[in-house]
């Protein structure tokens, strides 16, 4: 039994107590190689951020801090990571900290404005939008101010903004919708949402939320969790005095709770609420491991948890700033990660509502699918998708009734390099099959997806990234379900309703999510997996003995044995009066 890592609390008790001078200015000599490591890790953090991976970006910043402990850019990038994680209060503290460390004032002020927007503080955001510079130029600031004014219900002069900026089209669309002119808005929104998105990420950055209650939309596809296992970090880093608390309900037998920092015992507590106030300024800035142990009255261990934390107190003084071309390149990348984006999510949402109202069901579905694949909690998108799809509820398929002697051959894990030969083999045999595709691969090989559809085969989903659906977050579960639906719908024009969970891992939570949307889970009654790495003959013998009318046969898209066995399997089926059909045909 473990003490829950989530029980691990940190409060920003007192900035003032983050005592200056309590720890030594421990940065080593700023050697050229330390600098290049530092720059590399920060560039990596910004790169990870563009994929929405805040957790890894946070770890990369922590890695950079090991090379330069008190240089402004790491603090600036850390603030941006927190902003993108939608941790607006922590991000605001971090921008202030970056400012104290000498980060560029224009970026700090711009970041503070976005933090204020994230907290719905429009007046505060306007006040922060003053600092001009090489990046946050006058016209950039004017545009963001116009956005804030629109949210406040004012009518800013949009004519003076650069018309070629797609964000300006969105501002105009919002103004048109508010004025009741949906027709004018649609054209502007279509420009913003033109073409399929390059990935499942509709928005990559802090995006305009177009809602006074949610002025910006920051989506972390991999949010900073702060406590899952040992590679993770607390969102903001610890500052000053923090309160560590053990959740004793996870280890009821614990009589004593022992707190360690880097293997050094910092306190023992034997009374509720089993917490300890620890001054993080007593250790150097950087990564430390906090461990909490519960022991019973005789000193026997009954529970233990540990977590890496980033301690980030004010440095005694800013270190020598990184300068020159590497610093400028990083600042450009930081600005790119920070700059307020238009929102494709919002454009898709408004266009979907419009399409649904006009009876364009598939168009509306595709736009909702894209949002569900990216931001499953966006406004009322779940409800709207259910209404427009009218998919109702679907029961799990293990096999068909067999009434018409049909057998469903199914191929998982494509499309990939083996898809072409598999399609050729099926064509040669004149057989139809069902392909369970992985969304990310479908996006990489749209031409193969089109070929499968053109061959008369059925296309179904096998998650976005082939992760197990039983150990992902609720949001990621929906993303895994809808990523391939959106990708396949974009390519073939039809949304697949059938899906197979990777590895067959499926639990009641995943079942409920699928049922909520009317998706149909497809399992199998014959599993060729154990034979696909062996001899062709053995696989043929297995299917000949196992497959009967109504069977769903699981095979994989990339196995040479499967390719070799396919003609024999199909001729054996036909010799027994069975017909290879798609899963949908089998369900009828
Ligand atoms: Zn699979």
State the distance from the centre of ligand 1 to the C-alpha of 463, rounded, in angstroms: 9
Whether residue 333 is found in the same domain as residue 456:
no
State the distance from the centre of ligand 1 to the C-alpha of 533, rounded, in angstroms: 15
| Chain centroid offset of residue 146 CA | 30
Task: List C-alpha distances in Å: 443 to 26, 51, 205, 349, 446.
Answer: 47, 15, 21, 22, 6
State the distance from the centre of ligand 1 to the C-alpha of 466, rounded, in angstroms: 6
Q: Exposed/middle/buried for 249, CB within 10 Å: 0-12, 13-18, 19+?
A: exposed
- The predicted model scores a pTM of 0.82
CA–CA gap between residue 308 and residue 314 (Å, rounded): 19
With a cut of 60, say whether residue 406 has pLDDT above it. Answer: yes
- Choosing from 445, 457, 462, 556, the catalytic residue is 556
- Rounded to 10°, the helix 344-357/381-389 angle is 30
Q: What CATH number corresponds to the domain at position 566?
A: 3.20.20.370
Give a yes or no: residue 570 inside a domain: yes
- Rounded to 10°, the helix 344-357/166-178 angle is 40
Confidence grade of residue 231 (pLDDT, cut at 50, 70, 90)? very low
Confidence grade of residue 306 (pLDDT, cut at 50, 70, 90)? confident
Whether residue 202 is found in the same domain as residue 87:
yes
pLDDT at 293: 86
Can you tell me whether residue 257 is helix, strand or coil?
A: strand
Whether residue 212 is found in the same domain as residue 329:
yes
Contacts of 556 (CB under 8 A, 6+ apart): 411, 412, 413, 528, 529, 532, 562
Give a yes or no: residue 229 inside a domain: no
With a cut of 70, say whether residue 30 has pLDDT above it. Answer: no
Q: Best-predicted range by mean pLDDT among 76-90, 239-253, 447-461?
A: 447-461
With a cut of 50, say whether residue 510 has pLDDT above it. Answer: yes
Higher local confidence (pLDDT), 307 or 395: 395
Give a yes or no: residue 302 inside a domain: no
pLDDT at 237: 65
Whether residue 86 is found in the same domain as residue 189:
yes
Confidence grade of residue 25 (pLDDT, cut at 50, 70, 90)? very low
Whether residue 420 is found in the same domain as residue 512:
yes
Note residues around ion ligand 1 (Cβ under 5 angstroms).
412-413, 502
pLDDT at 314: 65
State the distance from the centre of ligand 1 to the C-alpha of 447, rounded, in angstroms: 21
Whether residue 525 is found in the same domain as residue 573:
yes
Whether residue 377 is found in the same domain as residue 481:
no
Contacts of 165 (CB under 8 A, 6+ apart): 143
Whether residue 329 is found in the same domain as residue 213:
yes
Confidence grade of residue 224 (pLDDT, cut at 50, 70, 90)? confident
The total of structural domains in the chain comes to: 3
Q: Which tokens in the block code for residue 26?
A: 């421990």
Whether residue 199 is found in the same domain as residue 332:
yes
Confirm whether 556 is a catalytic residue: yes
- Choosing from 247, 279, 412, 476, the catalytic residue is 412
Report which of 406, 403, 404, 410 is spatially closest to residue 580, judged by C-alpha positions: 406
State the distance from the centre of ligand 1 to the C-alpha of 541, rounded, in angstroms: 23
Q: Rg for the chain (alpha carbons), in Å?
A: 28
pLDDT at 487: 97
Give a yes or no: residue 246 inside a domain: no
State the distance from the centre of ligand 1 to the C-alpha of 572, rounded, in angstroms: 26
State the distance from the centre of ligand 1 to the C-alpha of 429, rounded, in angstroms: 24
pLDDT-above-70 percentage for the chain? 91
CA–CA gap between residue 214 and residue 431 (Å, rounded): 52
Give a yes or no: residue 273 inside a domain: no
Can you tell me whether residue 191 is helix, strand or coil?
A: helix
State the distance from the centre of ligand 1 to the C-alpha of 401, rounded, in angstroms: 25
pLDDT tens track for 45-69: 999 999 999 989 988 998 888 788 7
State the distance from the centre of ligand 1 to the C-alpha of 481, rounded, in angstroms: 14
Find the domain containing 559 and state its range. 406-587
Give a yes or no: residue 293 inside a domain: no
Element (H, E) at 98: helix 88-100
Whether residue 374 is found in the same domain as residue 452:
no
Confidence grade of residue 297 (pLDDT, cut at 50, 70, 90)? confident
Give a yes or no: residue 267 inside a domain: no
With a cut of 90, say whether residue 408 has pLDDT above it. Answer: yes
Q: Which tokens in the block code for residue 244?
A: 């560590």
Q: Which tokens in the block code for residue 442?
A: 């479908």
Q: Which tokens in the block code for residue 290?
A: 């906090």
Whether residue 60 is found in the same domain as residue 203:
yes
Report which of 107, 157, 114 is spatially closest to residue 134, judged by C-alpha positions: 107
Confidence grade of residue 315 (pLDDT, cut at 50, 70, 90)? low
Whether residue 156 is found in the same domain as residue 206:
yes
Give a yes or no: residue 7 inside a domain: no
To 5 degrees, how large is the angle CA 493–CA 497–CA 499?
120
């Amino acid at each position: 039994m473990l003490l829950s890592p989530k029980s691990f609390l940190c409060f920003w008790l007192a900035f003032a107590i983050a005592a200056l001078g309590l720890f030594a200015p421990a940065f080593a000599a700023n050697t050229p190689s330390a600098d290049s490591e530092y720059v590399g890790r920060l560039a990596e953090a910004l790169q990870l951020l563009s994929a929405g991976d805040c957790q890894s970006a946070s770890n990369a910043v922590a890695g950079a801090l090991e090379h330069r402990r008190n240089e402004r850019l790491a603090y600036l990038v850390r603030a941006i990571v927190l902003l993108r994680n939608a941790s607006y209060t922590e991000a605001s503290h971090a921008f202030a900290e970056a400012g104290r460390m000498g980060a560029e004032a224009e970026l700090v002020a711009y970041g503070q404005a976005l933090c204020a927007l994230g907290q719905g503080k429009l007046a505060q955001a306007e006040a922060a939008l003053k600092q001009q510079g090489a990046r946050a130029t006058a016209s950039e600031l004017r545009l963001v101010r116009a956005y804030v004014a629109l949210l406040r219900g004012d009518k800013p002069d949009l004519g003076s903004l650069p018309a070629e900026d797609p964000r300006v089209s969105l501002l105009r669309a919002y103004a048109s919708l508010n004025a009741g002119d949906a027709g004018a808005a649609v054209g502007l929104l279509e420009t913003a949402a033109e073409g399929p998105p390059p990935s499942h990420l509709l928005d990559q950055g802090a995006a305009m939320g177009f809602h006074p209650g949610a002025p910006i939309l920051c989506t972390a596809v991999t949010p900073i969790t702060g406590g899952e296992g040992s590679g993770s970090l607390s969102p903001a880093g610890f500052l000053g005095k923090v309160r560590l608390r053990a959740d004793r309900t996870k280890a009821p037998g614990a009589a004593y709770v022992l707190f360690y920092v880097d293997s050094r015992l910092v306190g023992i507590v034997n009374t509720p609420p089993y917490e300890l106030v620890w001054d993080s300024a007593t250790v150097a800035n950087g990564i430390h491991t906090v461990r909490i142990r519960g022991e019973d009255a005789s000193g026997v261990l009954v529970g233990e948890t540990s977590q890496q934390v980033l301690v980030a107190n004010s440095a005694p003084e800013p270190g020598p700033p990184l300068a020159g071309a590497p610093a400028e390149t990083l600042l450009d990348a930081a600005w790119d990660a920070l700059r307020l984006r238009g929102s494709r999510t919002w454009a898709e949402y408004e266009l979907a509502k419009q399409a649904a109202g006009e009876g364009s069901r598939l168009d509306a579905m595709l736009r909702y699918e894209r949002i569900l694949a990216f931001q499953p909690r966006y406004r009322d998108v779940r409800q709207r998708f259910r209404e427009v799809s009218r998919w109702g509820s679907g029961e799990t398929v293990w096999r068909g009734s067999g009434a018409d002697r049909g057998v469903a051959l199914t191929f998982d894990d494509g499309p990939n390099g083996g898809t072409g030969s598999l399609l050729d083999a099926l064509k040669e045999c004149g057989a139809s099959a069902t392909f369970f595709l992985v969304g990310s691969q479908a996006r990489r090989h749209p031409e193969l997806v089109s070929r499968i559809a053109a061959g008369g085969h059925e296309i179904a989903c096998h998650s976005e990234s082939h992760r197990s659906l039983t150990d992902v977050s609720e949001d990621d579960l929906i993303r895994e379900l809808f990523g391939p639906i959106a990708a396949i719908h974009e390519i073939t024009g039809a949304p697949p309703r059938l899906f197979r969970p990777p590895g067959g891992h499926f639990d009641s939570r995943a079942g409920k999510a699928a049922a909520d949307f009317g998706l149909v889970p497809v399992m199998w009654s014959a599993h060729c997996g154990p034979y696909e790495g062996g001899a062709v003959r053995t696989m043929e013998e297995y299917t000949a003995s196992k497959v009967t009318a109504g069977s769903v046969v699981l095979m994989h898209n990339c196995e040479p044995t499967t390719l070799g066995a396919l003609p024999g399997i199909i001729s054996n089926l036909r010799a027994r009066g069975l017909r290879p059909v798609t899963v949908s045909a089998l369900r009828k």
